[in-house]
Structures are given as structure tokens and as C-alpha cells.
Amino acid sequence: MGSLDANCIASPRGFSPLDIDDFRQQAHQTVEFICEYYKGIESHPVVPQVEPGYLRRLLPETPSAQPMPFAKVLSEVQATVLPGMTHWTNPNFFAYFPATLSSAALCGDLLASALNPVAFNWLSSPAVTELESLTLDWLAQLIRLPKGFLFSAGGGGVLQATTSEAVLCTLVAARKMVLERAGHDGADKLVVYASDQTHSTFAKACKIAGIAPANIRIIPTAREDLFSLRPDSLRAAMEADAAAGLLPAYVCATVAGRFGAWVHVDAAYAGSACVCPEFRHHLDGVDRVDSISMSPHKWLLTGLDCCCLWVRDRARLTTSLSTDPEYLKNRATESGLVVDYKDWQIGTGRRFRALKLFMVMRCYGTANLQSHIRSDVRMARGFEEMVAADTRFEVVVPRRFALVCFRMRPRRAGADGEAEADAANRRLLEEVNNSGGIYATHTVIGGIYVIRFAVGTTLTEERHVKAAWELFRAKADAAWEAAR
């Protein structure tokens, strides 16, 4: 019987979807399911061999009218969902950036789900807000952000789901700041800046915020500068805009601001490394910026989704994002003594994301977080050395933390040699990925096709990195020939 025919007949016993005994049994079953999954994780191909639409051939087109036993649903997930997963927790996953995870985060997140508070303001669950503020203060100290980003100094941190939201929220704050100075009719004069190496997130956030496409300046970078943004290029662009009567409003970069623009640093990946003092210099200059974001879900073991945003002047953020509907008015807010996180983000409702970050920091301590980062960097350095030791290959840009961008070298100089190399490297990556053994991805930097090898899933060990390199080596010559 399809569920769409009519009223469905409810099951005879009362429906108690949070019955404690049911939950206990089902949750323990799920935990064992996960343990089995992790045990066998390396036996799954990292990228699934499925065709678009595969799942619709395995599951019904209409929802089920009657309940299905929990164990049967788990088996169905095993049989239909798992074969179509790209396994981000597989230790042979070297694609994109890693999404790291930990037992503490999983347990913290489960607990957060079970508490299920909708903590849009302080009153709607004080502990959620206060734990978030405190944990963000902790992490700010851990990566040695200037004191101005702490709550005690008028700054503060908030957890967002994604970097995009952090960028969008600060962009909205920047717009308000600049327009207040310039007069409110200057919206079409706002100009924003980022390097051509900035994540696509930035351009999208600008589009969402309604920045005129003609006013988004993407500053070119070059290989000789290691593809970093040159302060003089940025300054020239800003000067030209200001001279033309436009309003430089927002820079997404790692350099200090000028022209009264809001400067945001996107340290989604790199920020986590800064828990180690030896990497902290990558944030030099952050004392002169307005906001910074980093994503512990990338490299600090928290699982999705967990992006930290800190601002130096929280009032600038909250005055641009606040709402004050009658049904949320309350004395705590009116007292001015509390943080209402709905005014720090796009949405109203929000998950209790701080709990998993808190549990990661508490269960592991700074010592282990540092050793986790260092271990990944050490493995990536080992990979980089192996690449450099093989004359067929080259590291295209210096390793950045645990990310190695490399390729097979061109076999002759000039544009044709480059084109050949691009084709051969593309082929090599395909061959390696199609083997099912590992998964890496590519990008194009300064016109050069490079293979990105990002070390750092939680389960990756040195043996996985070595085996991956052996795979690239073994397939290199054949790929070159096949691409000709």
C-alpha cells in the first residue's frame, strides 16, 4: 500500500518516537554499525562506482505508509546508501581538504542532538550560548589571536556552519559600516577585493549580498609570488577605485586594511595549524584585521559543521544582523548582559555546535591537538620529499601545511610541453583514482594543472601516504604514454 492513497492506519500501540528503551537499543545498534563500518573502512573504494540515479533504482518512488523495523532500515542503509558514499573517513582519501573527526566530537554531537535546544538567543538556552562563547575564547587563545577578539575586549566568536556564512555575515557588517560613513545611497559604489586564489565562496557571498558584479575585484597573483596576494597590487586597485569615487568596503585576504575597508581573513584550513606555535606566524598581521574565520571541521577533529568566526567589534556585526521581534523579547536581552547568537548569523535557529568543539578540546587537550597537526604535516612533508626525489615529478608550489600540489614535469619547454604535461597529469590522476585505492583531486594554479594531495583524514597513517605515492609512481609512465 502506498502512503498517498488515503489516511494511513496508525500502528496499534501508541506512537512513542522517543521511548527510552527503543532509543537505547537503536542507538547501541547504530554505534555497533558504525564500529563495523570503521573496521572495514579500507575495504570500500574511496569513490563509489555508481552512475547518476543509482539510488532511485534501489528504493521506492513513494514514501512508506507503514513503519519498518529499525534493524531493517539500518540494513537498507548498508545496502543502498553505503555503496554510493564517497568515504571521507577512509584513510586513503587525499582529496579536497580533509574533514576530520573524532570520538569526542561524535559523542558531543550526539549529545547535542539529544538535547536539541534551538538556542537562537541566550534565554532560549543559556548554557548553549555561554559554552559557545567560552569555547571560542579558548580556541582564540590557542591560536593566539590578539586579545581584541575575546569577549572581554568587545570582540567575540560564534560558530557558523560554513565559511561562506562567515564571509557573508561579515560582508553585511562591512557594508553597513561603510555605508554609514558614506551615506546610505552608495550601495552600488561598494567594492570588494580578494585574490584569484580565494575560495569561490567569496564571489558567491558577494553575489548573495547583492554587490554589483562589476565591483568585485579579483586581484591576479603569480607563481613568482607563490600565488599570494601582493599588498601593492591590492593597494593600487583600492586607490584606483577610491579615486573613481567608489567605496572600498571589504577585503578577503591576509593583509592589513586601508581605506577604512573591513578586512576578513579566511583561515578555514590554516587556522587549525596555528594551535602549534611553529605555524602561528601564518597569522602574523591578524592584529590589524576586523574578522577571521577557521573551520575546525576541516582539521581540528570536530566533524561537520563547525566554522569559527571571530570579530574584533561584535557590535558592528550584531547591529547589522539583529532582529527584535516581539515574541523573542525578554529581560535577559534587555539587560544587555547576554549574547544572542541569532544576531551573529543568517538564521534564527541553530544547533548546539559548541558541545562537540568543547568535548574535543577537553578530551584531547592542546597537547594532542598539536601532535595531531604535526603528525599530518610530517606525513605530507614525507610525501613532498618523495615527489622531489623522483626526477619525473615536481612540487609546483611549496607544500602548505599538509597539502602538496605536484605534477609530472613537462618533457619539453614551451606551451606545447605544458599542454602535454597537463594532459598527462590529468590522465595520471584519473588512473590513480579509478584504481579505487585512493582519491586525490586537482586544481589549476597559474594556468598549470596540478594534482592536490591533502594529507589528514583522522585515520591516515604513514603507510597510507607511502602506498599512495607508490601508486602515483607506478602509473606515471603509462599515463604519460596514454595521454599522448
Positions annotated as catalytic residues are 327
Q: Are 328 and 349 in contact (CB under 8 A)?
A: no
Distance, CA of 427 to CA of 421 (rounded, Å): 10
Q: Are 453 and 465 in contact (CB under 8 A)?
A: no
**What part of residues 263-302 is at the interface with its own copies (CB under 8 A)?**
276-277, 297, 301
User: Residue 106: is it exposed, middle or buried by C-beta count within 10 angstroms (0-12/13-18/19+)?
Assistant: middle
Among 180, 181, 225, 323, binds its own copies (CB under 8 A): 323
Shortest distance (Å) from residue 47 CB to its own copies = 8
**What part of residues 18-77 is at the interface with its own copies (CB under 8 A)?**
18-20, 22-24, 26-35, 37-39, 47-48, 50, 52-56, 59, 61-68, 70, 73, 76-77
* Comparison of 392 and 466: residue with beta carbon closer to its own copies: 466
**What part of residues 394-423 is at the interface with its own copies (CB under 8 A)?**
none
Neighbours of 423 (CB within 10 A): 16
Tell me the three cell numbers of residue 302: 570536530
Among 212, 242, 467, 482, binds its own copies (CB under 8 A): 212
Q: Which of 58, 90, 129, 146 is nearest to 355 (CA)?
A: 129
Shortest distance (Å) from residue 236 CB to its own copies = 25
Among 175, 189, 399, 475, binds its own copies (CB under 8 A): 175
Among 244, 281, 284, 327, binds its own copies (CB under 8 A): 327
Place of cell 619525473: 392
- The CA angle 382-384-390, to the nearest 5 degrees, is 105
Place of cell 586601508: 258
Shortest distance (Å) from residue 226 CB to its own copies = 18
Distance, CA of 309 to CA of 292 (rounded, Å): 6
Of 198-206, 233-241, 386-394, 467-475, the segment contacting its own copies by CB under 8 A is 198-206
Among 359, 432, 438, 471, binds its own copies (CB under 8 A): 359
* Comparison of 232 and 336: residue with beta carbon closer to its own copies: 336
Shortest distance (Å) from residue 109 CB to its own copies = 5
Shortest distance (Å) from residue 288 CB to its own copies = 22
Shortest distance (Å) from residue 184 CB to its own copies = 8
* Comparison of 243 and 444: residue with beta carbon closer to its own copies: 444
DSSP 357: H
* Comparison of 113 and 239: residue with beta carbon closer to its own copies: 113
Among 180, 181, 223, 366, binds its own copies (CB under 8 A): 366
Crossing angle of helices 163-182 and 200-209, in 10° steps, is: 50
Distance, CA of 396 to CA of 414 (rounded, Å): 16
End-to-end CA gap in the chain: 57
* Comparison of 277 and 414: residue with beta carbon closer to its own copies: 277
Neighbours of 277 (CB within 10 A): 9
Letter for the amino acid at 313?
Answer: D
Q: Which of 238, 285, 229, 244 is nearest to 259 (CA)?
A: 238
Site string for its own copies, 133-172 (x = CB under 8 A): -x--xxx-xx-x----------------xxxxx--x---x
Distance, CA of 22 to CA of 92 (rounded, Å): 36
Shortest distance (Å) from residue 164 CB to its own copies = 4
Does position 303 interact with its own copies (CB under 8 A)? The reply is: yes
**What part of residues 100-129 is at the interface with its own copies (CB under 8 A)?**
101-107, 109-111, 113-119, 122-128
Among 335, 413, 414, 415, binds its own copies (CB under 8 A): 335
Residues binding its own copies: number (CB under 8 A): 163
Q: Which of 204, 293, 296 is nearest to 253 (CA)?
A: 293
Site string for its own copies, 419-458 (x = CB under 8 A): ----------------------xxxx-------x-----x
User: Residue 334: is it exposed, middle or buried by C-beta count within 10 angstroms (0-12/13-18/19+)?
Assistant: exposed
- 284: left (phi > 0), else alpha (psi -120 to 50), else beta? beta
Of 216-224, 310-318, 350-358, 463-471, the segment contacting its own copies by CB under 8 A is 350-358
Shortest distance (Å) from residue 289 CB to its own copies = 21
Among 254, 272, 318, 370, binds its own copies (CB under 8 A): 370
**What part of residues 244-263 is at the interface with its own copies (CB under 8 A)?**
none
Q: Are 444 and 397 in contact (CB under 8 A)?
A: no
Crossing angle of helices 103-115 and 354-389, in 10° steps, is: 150
* Comparison of 374 and 466: residue with beta carbon closer to its own copies: 374
Of 219-227, 252-260, 341-349, 386-394, the segment contacting its own copies by CB under 8 A is 341-349
Shortest distance (Å) from residue 82 CB to its own copies = 7
Distance, CA of 203 to CA of 208 (rounded, Å): 9
Q: Are 319 and 175 in contact (CB under 8 A)?
A: no
